[in-house]
Amino acid sequence: MHWSLVTKAPIRDTRGTLVGLVGISHDITRRKQDEQRLGELAATLAEKNRELETILYVASHDLRSPLVNIHGFSRELQRSVDE
């Protein structure tokens, strides 16, 4: 696929009658390809971030569980010492 950016302007005589048209065309194919690639990379990055958030959530939960148990045991130990 080929992309172009085209700018056109009318050419008028002294009475204002349209006598022609002038235009400039720029090949922007590479820019469009880069934009598409950037979009693909952004989507991939978003997916990787979701995966990382899931891993962090699981790791946080897995680390929190033993601490809850230790906290419970320490309370039991404190109660038995206080009696």
Tens digits of residue pLDDT in 18-77: 999 999 999 999 999 999 999 999 999 999 999 999 999 998 888 877 877 888 888 888
Q: Is 32 exposed, middle or buried (0-12, 13-18, 19+ CB in 10 A)?
A: middle
Whether residue 38 contacts residue 32, with contact meaning beta carbons closer than 8 Å, is answered with: no
Whether residue 2 contacts residue 29, with contact meaning beta carbons closer than 8 Å, is answered with: yes
How crowded is the C-beta side of 42, counted as CA atoms within 13 Å? 6
Give the pairing type, strands 4-12 and 18-27: antiparallel
pLDDT (0 to 100) of residue 51: 96
Question: Rounded to whole angstroms, how far apart are CA atoms 56 and 73?
Answer: 26
pLDDT (0 to 100) of residue 56: 93
pLDDT (0 to 100) of residue 72: 83
**Model pTM?**
0.58
